[in-house]
Chain A
């Protein structure tokens, strides 16, 4: 019997496709195109060890003779071919981009996750409990909002770097980056969730939950949270683009991912040195990848905001 029932009920994917959001998605070519680009880049990053023609960080496989091979041409000494050319040390640019994207995307996703968990928790607490909790949380948020997020991230990075012992700094850099970007970005989430919680907590279902004696934490997590998630989703998407750009900026400035574990920003920093001598591809391809990634996530976020906003339907 169970089998038959499963056959009748449409699958989860099918239901999502036929929902309002799915309809809106199918009718927004920009959203479909950006999803395609984002998915392509994510798959490239995840499968980098299998796709990348060379392993850029294995010194044994590098041949210095291959240095500065232009894209789409065979090297004049060794005859090796590289799709997007090579850098000064003979590393394949296409492979470094794939591996760099791994780090950029990982830092971006992890930082947004940290900011989201922190912001949503603090926002729920502030909105639901009120009183002193709310005053303290929102005051700190206000102070932090006075400063641009990138500055806060730089400062946290600097402090964390000072605390870690020098021999671990390169290894820890990625985690420090996640911490710095995540902590610089929680305010948006907290403010929105607090606002939504203030509205939801006076609704009847919350009153009912209170009456049957559920604990405040159960009410916050099981009842209010699912109802304030829509705006959180929108902010998370836009934050992801901002986090990826923030990571690239920090790495570009030399206060992010180290050259031994380069992200897209580090690659652009390295490539900039060769701009003056005519090896444009070392700079151009990582920059174009970063731009494609940031732009398509931004466009996706824009679409999501409009699609989830009931007033615009």
Chain B
């Protein structure tokens, strides 16, 4: 087990190094960094000095190492567009994205698992069939269209909820939260549904399939024969054994919630890191792009690692006979 965990950590570091290489190459080769940093009035001496300062005359590997050192300390230089340190901008924007991702994640998990169980138990019921058909359409609908549809219904036609922004936010230290004001909470509803809906349908379909598989097994039939209450069979016997694949996919989905937040944030003009990233692409703001890439890969790799470790907590069989090997 220890060998397996060490192997996974080693793999994660390798992924981060590769992503770092991509981020570094962006800095180094997309446009001329010296060109981007100096203004119009510059002399050859300025260029030479900055080149020296940035270490651009050093060998590639040395430069890469220096980049990684700086990145590990959260230093990604200045945004080309805003002229402020990238780390500062990211920290300022991060709370908005994390709050949105958190609420949609909870929505997707709770909604997905309960609807999944429901559709599995009432497999032939009318409402279960309606939900399943609805989910099929939900999977085909692009995220941004869901957002537009919700805005049209609840902001334009009904006028119940705001269509853009975070509403009023409260400042707690360096963190800004929308949880404490009415307009903040109201603004959160539509983006959270937009972002969570796709993940919810995925989790729901997965839970349903797994539940149906487990419910067919012998030990469930025996449990029925023993006269155990239906509720107890469904939740205590069956649900537990569907959890392993559900946790894998859910963990990976949490990662993509942060990525898909880019789309939702653009539709709702939500001032988070996703909107920042899209603007960075539009204006070719390389430092912001690179920093976002590094930040999001640390999150992804971290989530993947945690998911892998969770297996051991959930599936006792793995603790006994898993030898070092892939999955």
Contacts and interface: CB of A to CB of B under 8 A. Distances in A.
Contact of B259 (A151, A157, A252): A151
A160 to B, nearest CB: 9
Question: Which of A147, A162, A241, A253 gathers the greatest number of chain B CB atoms within 10 Å?
Answer: A253
B262 A151 contact: yes
Contact of B280 (A158, A163, A295): A158
B301 interface: yes
Interface in B258-317: 259-260, 262-263, 266, 277-278, 280-282, 284, 286, 289, 293, 296-297, 300-301, 304
A255 interface: yes
- Interface size class on chain B is 35 or more
Contact of B142 (A254, A272, A294): A294
A150 B274 CA distance: 13
A148 B145 contact: no
B297 A150 contact: no
B307 to A, nearest CB: 12
Nearest to B277: A154
A291 interface: yes
B148 interface: yes
B260 A150 contact: yes
A6 interface: no
Contacts of B278: 154, 253-255
Question: Which of A155, A163, A248 gathers the greatest number of chain B CB atoms within 10 Å?
Answer: A155
B214 interface: no
Given A254-B278, A294-B140, A147 B156 contact: no
Nearest to B19: A143
B304 A148 contact: no
A67 B137 CA distance: 34
Contacts of A253: 144, 262-263, 266, 278
A161 interface: yes
Given A147-B297, A151-B296, A162-B30, A287 B152 contact: no
B144 A249 contact: yes
Contact of A143 (B18, B151, B262, B289): B18
B125 interface: no
Given A143-B15, A154-B281, A248 B142 contact: yes
B319 to A, nearest CB: 25
Contacts of B26: 159, 162
B296 A254 contact: no
Interface in A132-166: 139-140, 143, 146-148, 150-151, 154-155, 157-159, 161-163
Interface string A230-254: 0000000000010001001100111
Contacts of A163: 29-30
Contact of B145 (A154, A241, A268): A268
A255 B262 CA distance: 12
A155 B31 CA distance: 15
A295 B139 CA distance: 9
Contacts, number: 95
Given A249-B144, A249-B263, A254-B278, A155 B289 contact: yes
A276 interface: yes
Interface residues of A, number: 36
Interface in A74-103: none
Nearest to A298: B140
Nearest to A277: B156
B145 A146 contact: no
B143 interface: yes
Contacts of B29: 163
Contacts of B297: 146-147
Contacts of B289: 155, 158
B33 to A, nearest CB: 11
A275 interface: yes
Contacts of A241: 140
Given A275-B151, A283-B148, A155 B293 contact: yes
Contacts of A159: 26, 30
A237 B230 CA distance: 42
A173 to B, nearest CB: 12
A111 interface: no
Interface string A269-288: 00010011000100100010
Question: Which of B262, B300, B304 gathers the greatest number of chain A CB atoms within 10 Å?
Answer: B262
A258 to B, nearest CB: 11
Contacts of A154: 262, 277-278, 281
B129 interface: no
A187 interface: no
Given A154-B281, A275-B151, A146 B263 contact: no
B256 interface: yes
Given A146-B304, A161-B281, A162-B26, A291 B144 contact: no
Contacts of A283: 148
B168 to A, nearest CB: 22
24 contacts: A146-B15, A150-B259, A150-B263, A154-B277, A158-B280, A158-B281, A158-B284, A162-B284, A248-B142, A248-B144, A249-B142, A252-B144, A253-B266, A253-B278, A254-B278, A268-B144, A268-B145, A275-B152, A276-B156, A287-B145, A287-B148, A290-B145, A291-B145, A295-B137
Given A147-B300, A253-B262, A276-B163, 14 more contacts: A150-B259, A151-B259, A158-B280, A159-B30, A161-B281, A163-B29, A253-B144, A253-B278, A254-B282, A255-B282, A280-B152, A290-B142, A291-B145, A294-B140
Interface of A: 139-140, 143, 146-148, 150-151, 154-155, 157-159, 161-163, 241, 245, 248-249, 252-255, 268, 272, 275-276, 280, 283, 287, 290-291, 294-295, 298
Task: Pick the 5 closest A-B CB pairs, nearest first.
Answer: A162-B30, A158-B281, A151-B259, A162-B284, A148-B259
